[in-house]
């Protein structure tokens, strides 16, 4: 079982100060660490390798010299091989280009890894794009937002039972077989604290650096069309439109309606059918509600 883990050095959230008026981030106070979700991804990979009793974990990052720190952490925790990708122009790359570079690096090996782990999002931009884009570039199935992972041997083959985190507290359970890409939520596990000899060995390790532009596969994907960031601002609560209570009602009932927002419980409707029918139904629904 060959496992690859993609890591990123990201600001430790507790060290970040955002000016409330200008919205600017004080870069001098930053402490850069291994992104929390990525540490969980690495831990998940290591536990899987240990459970299977065989295999290797390859930790990969794209970043400047300082980001070698995260690879040393990975090595101390138990990664078998580590590598850093970097080119000065990469400082301006968006998530899609980064994913393309990672994909090109993983393709450069004779075969793709059986499993790829990524953190779901980084603590800085939290776009959650690199993992899914990497899966797309490699043509692999993917499961995002993993908060539960169990591995079983099913007639000699690896079977993963995955719990996925959805919006509003919903959960989804899935069964999956490699090859596969998983993006991991930072609550999946508690990353280990390496032993001193491992830590020392990692501090002294030399790290291979590769220029992604030299990878043959990369040129094709290099012109990835990135999302343009128009504006960054602190989120404000969305105003909620309240219907005016019926004046026929008693004051008690009217106040009750205002307090509850006059909303009824959320209703769900399950529609079944062919993809075309479902698409039509969806468009009809959106038109009906005035969204389209």
Partner 1 sequence: MHAQQQFDVIVVGAGPAGSSAALVLARAGLRVALIERGEYPGAKNVSGAVFYAPGLLAELLPTFWDEAPFERYITRRVLTFLGKESAFSLDFRTRHFATPPYNGVTILRPKFDRWLASKAVEAGALLITSTVVDDLLYEGERVIGVQCRRDDGALYAPVVIAADGANSFLAKKAGLQREFSAEEMSLGVKEVLRLGERTIEERFNLTGDEGMASEYVGEATGSVKGGAFLYTNRDTLSLGVIVQIASLAQQRVRPYELLDRFKQHPAVAPLVRDGVTLEYSAHMIPEGGWQLIPRLVRAGLLVAGDAAALVFAAGIFLEGMNFAVASGLAAAETALEAHRHGDFSTATLTGYRKRLEQSFVLQDLQRFRLTPAFVNNERLQNLYPELLCQAAEQVFRSEGRPRKKLGSTILATLRCKVSLWTLLRDGWQAGRALFF
**Alpha-carbon 86 to chain mean position:** 21
**CB-neighbour burial class of residue 62 (10 A; exposed 0-12, middle 13-18, buried 19+):** buried
Q: Give the residue with the Cβ less far from partner 1, 31 or 286.
A: 31
Specify the residue, 32 or 127, whose C-beta has the smaller distance to partner 1. Answer: 32
Locus of tokens 């205002």: 258
Least distance (Å) between residue 19 CB and partner 1: 8
Q: Which is nearer to partner 1, 70 or 215 (CB)?
A: 70
Lay out the sheet containing 115-119: strands in order across.
171-176, 157-165, 142-154, 180-184, 115-119, 2-7, 56-62, 81-85, 208-210
Residue 197 CB, shortest distance to partner 1, in Å, is 5
Packing angle between helix 36-52 and helix 68-77, nearest 10 degrees? Answer: 30
Q: How far is the CB of 201 from partner 1 (least distance, A)?
A: 7
Residues that bind partner 1 (CB under 8 A): 12, 17, 28-29, 31, 33, 193-197, 199-201, 203-204
Residue 83 burial class via C-beta count within 10 angstroms: exposed 0-12, middle 13-18, buried 19 and up = middle
Residue number with CB closer to partner 1 (108 or 201): 201
Q: How far apart are CA 186 and CA 35, in angstroms?
A: 9
Q: How far is the CB of 33 from partner 1 (least distance, A)?
A: 7
In terms of CB distance, is 23 or 273 closer to partner 1?
Answer: 23
Task: Please state, as a whole number, how many other Cβ atoms lie within 10 Å of the Cβ of residue 15.
Answer: 12
Nearer to partner 1, 12 or 83 (CB): 12
> Which three-class secondary structure state does DSSP give residue 84?
strand
State the Cα–Cα distance between residues 245 and 238, nearest whole angstrom: 21
Least distance from partner 1 to the Cβ atom of residue 30, Å: 11
Tell me how far, at minimum, the Cβ of 200 lies from partner 1, in Å. 5
């Amino acid at each position: 079982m060959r496992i690859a883990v993609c890591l990123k050095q990201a600001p430790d959230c507790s060290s970040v100060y955002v000016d409330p008026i200008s919205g600017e981030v004080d870069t001098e106070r930053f402490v850069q660490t291994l992104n929390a979700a990525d540490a969980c991804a690495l831990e998940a990979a290591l536990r899987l390798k240990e459970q299977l009793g065989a295999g290797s974990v390859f930790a990969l990052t794209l970043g400047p010299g300082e980001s070698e720190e995260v690879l040393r952490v990975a090595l101390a925790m138990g990664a078998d091989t580590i590598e850093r990708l970097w080119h000065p122009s990469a400082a301006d790359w968006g998530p899609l280009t980064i994913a393309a570079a990672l994909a090109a690096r993983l393709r450069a090996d004779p075969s793709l890894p059986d499993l790829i782990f990524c953190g779901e999002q980084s603590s800085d931009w939290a776009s959650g794009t690199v993992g899914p884009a990497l899966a797309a570039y490699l043509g692999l199935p993917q499961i995002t937002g993993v908060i539960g992972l169990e591995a079983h041997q099913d007639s000699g083959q690896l079977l993963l039972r995955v719990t996925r985190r959805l919006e509003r507290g919903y959960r989804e359970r899935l069964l999956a077989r490699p090859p596969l890409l998983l993006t991991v939520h930072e609550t999946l596990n508690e990353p280990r604290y390496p032993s001193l000899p491992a830590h020392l060995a990692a501090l002294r390790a030399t790290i291979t650096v590769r220029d992604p532009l030299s990878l043959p596969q990369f040129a094709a994907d290099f012109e990835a069309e990135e999302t343009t960031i128009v504006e960054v601002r602190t989120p404000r609560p969305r105003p909620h439109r309240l219907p005016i209570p019926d004046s026929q009602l008693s004051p008690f009932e009217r106040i009750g309606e205002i307090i509850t927002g006059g909303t009824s419980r959320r209703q769900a409707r399950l529609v079944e059918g062919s993809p075309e029918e479902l698409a039509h139904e969806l468009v009809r629904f959106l038109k009906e509600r005035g969204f389209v």
